[in-house]
Amino acid sequence: MSGHSKWATIRRKKEKVDAARGRVFTRLIRELQIAAREGGGDETSNARLRTAIAGAKAANMPAANIEKAIKRGTGELPGITYEQVSYECYGPGGVALLIEVTTDNRNRTVSEIRHLLAKRNGSMGQTGSVNWMFDRKGMIVIPREGVVEDELMMAALDSGADDMVSEDTEYIIYTNPEVLESVRETLAGKYQVQSAESAMIPQSLVKVEGANATMLLSLLEELEEHDDVQHVYSNFDVDVALLDRTQ
């Protein structure tokens, strides 16, 4: 099972628990702030902000928190200024890792990420060493329950999506990033949209087994738990049973 789908599913399940500790809210607030800072606080003219707001609402973030995050991003309220940074890395077994972070201290964050990688036989790569292995796509997740697959597929394609894959408990719809928000809005009128985000999808996969697979999963968990990490993308392919044991 590929890293961009199965691990994403596990991450979303874990986020239900993490939300109680505020981790998901922290990530969403940072995304709201950055989206507002880069594109302005008017969601009608800022597609990234509309998507961030939709994600925050899906996580049941109070409207007041959303509004404050946006105003901090536009400078209407004081707050910490975050920057968005991507690190191109290698994990156990030679898998590629793209780690996207939001941080107020780049030196601190890169030091901590390097430490986590070193513990699990990973390493930092040079700029351009990993990014070329991935394509950026829009990714919309819709729970399977009560959904007729053929009808959803037709609705997704008609609204401008490129493809749809079926997982155990959800459907994942892929789009061109430019039409992600319009496809999400169309589908949200009829279906429950669990999440919608721009994601890096691997062009091919690297099989990982044994100790490397175990170390990789531990590394992914530790990276996901880091407060500054927004997303982790990888091109690993690992046995489903091993992945399921991490749930």
Percent of the chain with pLDDT over 90: 57
How confident is the model at residue 97, as a pLDDT? 96
* Closest CA relative to residue 172, chosen from 203, 151, 194, 150: 194
Q: What is the DSSP letter of 46?
A: -
Q: What is the mean pLDDT of the chain?
A: 87
Q: Do domains 83-132+203-244 and 135-202 have the same CATH topology?
A: yes
Handedness of CA 25, 237, 187, 193 (dihedral sign): negative
Q: Model-level pTM? A: 0.81
Whether the pLDDT of residue 51 is over 90: the answer is: no
**What is the fold of 3-74?**
Arc Repressor Mutant, subunit A (1.10.10)
Whether the pLDDT of residue 24 is over 60: the answer is: yes
How confident is the model at residue 3, as a pLDDT? 45
Whether the pLDDT of residue 100 is over 90: the answer is: yes
**Where exactly are the structural domains of the chain?**
3-74, 83-132+203-244, 135-202
Q: Residue 200: what are its φ and ψ, rounded to 5°?
A: -100, 115
3-state SS track over 92-125: HHHCEEEEEEEECCHHHHHHHHHHHHHHCCCEEC
Whether the pLDDT of residue 1 is over 50: the answer is: no
Whether the pLDDT of residue 206 is over 60: the answer is: yes
Whether the pLDDT of residue 170 is over 60: the answer is: yes
Q: Residues 49-59: what's their mean pLDDT?
A: 86
The letter for the amino acid at 158 is: D
Q: Which residue has the higher pLDDT, 146 or 22?
A: 146
Cα separations in angstroms, 31 against 108, 168, 206: 20, 28, 30
Structure tokens of 47?
Answer: 């597609």
Give domain 83-132+203-244's CATH number out of 3.30.70.980, 3.40.710.10, 3.40.50.720, 3.30.230.10.
Answer: 3.30.70.980
| Top-level class of domain 135-202 | alpha beta
Whether the pLDDT of residue 191 is over 70: the answer is: yes
